[in-house]
């Protein structure tokens, strides 16, 4: 179990106040890491800080940030280093996939927003923190992609294109930041986070029985094992990989 120990490490998680991000924040803290929780709403970040402080001995910092804005991610990186002196783990988890009535109704503003949050932000933050990791003791970057990166549906065309870019970025940065920084990606299938509240669950469950080998959506906590593996020394010889965490979705 020492392979998964994160004692003395510092982790930054974007989209860390809810859903999969919150699960990873709590898992890293329980494994011994100090954590930086970044998302757009300060109150939501503070709530997870309180949860970390109440359930672990780790330190936690809340930092509101819009990852689609170049200047915001620079401030986030600087805040993490100012508070903890280093970053060992970066999780680019923040994402968005707005609904649209038709492809022709996709505006330039919607397209740019999806690309900014899902692709531009992870690139910039990975470079800002990855360069400092390379100059120091190294580290691990985990990108969160989606099955939509390879098999998008008609209702997630911009999102799928952005996530395909994230997977491409994973490989290119794994080469550019080597050998001291490892960069890997989790390609997530359907997770039953609060996003699923808007789903027709009867329809989803029927579809899952046909399209997912495990015949169900994932519980949010099922991200934790893979995230701990990629963040820790357990994956010390793995970089440039995209790991499908989708119950064998087709």
Give the catalytic positions in this structure: 159
Q: Which helix (H) or strand (E) holds 167?
A: helix 157-176
Query: Which residues, at least 6 apart from 187, have a Cβ–Cβ distance to it below 8 Å?
Result: 145, 146, 147, 149, 150, 163, 167, 242, 243, 244, 245, 246
Q: Are 42 and 65 in contact (CB under 8 A)?
A: no
Phi, psi of 29 (to 5 degrees): -65, -40
Q: What length is written for the chain?
A: 250
- SS3 at position 133: helix
Q: In angstroms, rounded to a whole number, what is the distance separating the alpha carbons of residues 56 and 53?
A: 6
- Count of CB atoms within 10 A of residue 218's CB? 19
Radius of gyration of the chain (CA): 17
| Cα–Cα separations (whole angstroms), residue 225 to 77, 116, 221, 232 | 26, 28, 8, 11
Residue for token digits 């991000």? 21
**Sign, Cα dihedral of 144, 150, 156, 157:** positive
Phi, psi of 105 (to 5 degrees): -85, -5
């Amino acid at each position: 179990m020492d392979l998964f120990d994160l004692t003395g490490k510092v982790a930054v998680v974007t989209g860390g106040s809810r859903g999969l991000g919150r699960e990873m924040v709590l898992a890293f803290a329980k494994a011994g890491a100090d954590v930086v929780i970044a998302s757009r709403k300060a109150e939501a970040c503070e709530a997870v800080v309180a949860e970390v402080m109440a359930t672990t001995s780790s330190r936690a910092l809340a930092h509101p940030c819009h990852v689609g804005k170049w200047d915001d991610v620079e401030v986030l990186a600087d805040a993490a280093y100012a508070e903890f002196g280093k970053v060992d783990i970066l999780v680019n988890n923040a994402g968005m996939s707005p609904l649209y009535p038709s492809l022709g109704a996709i505006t330039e503003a919607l397209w740019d927003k999806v690309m900014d949050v899902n692709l531009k932000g992870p690139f910039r933050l990975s470079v800002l923190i990855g360069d400092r990791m390379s100059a120091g003791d190294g580290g691990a970057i985990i990108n969160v992609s989606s099955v939509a990166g390879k098999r998008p549906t008609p209702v997630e065309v911009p999102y799928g294109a952005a996530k395909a870019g994230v997977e491409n970025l994973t490989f290119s940065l794994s080469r550019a930041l080597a050998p001291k920084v490892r960069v890997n990606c989790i390609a997530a299938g359907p997770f039953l986070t609060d996003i699923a509240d808007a789903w027709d669950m009867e329809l989803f469950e029927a579809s899952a029985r046909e399209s997912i080998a495990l015949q169900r959506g994932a519980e949010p906590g099922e991200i934790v094992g893979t995230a701990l593996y990629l963040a820790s020394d357990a994956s010390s010889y793995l970089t440039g990989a995209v790991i499908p965490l989708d119950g064998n979705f087709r």
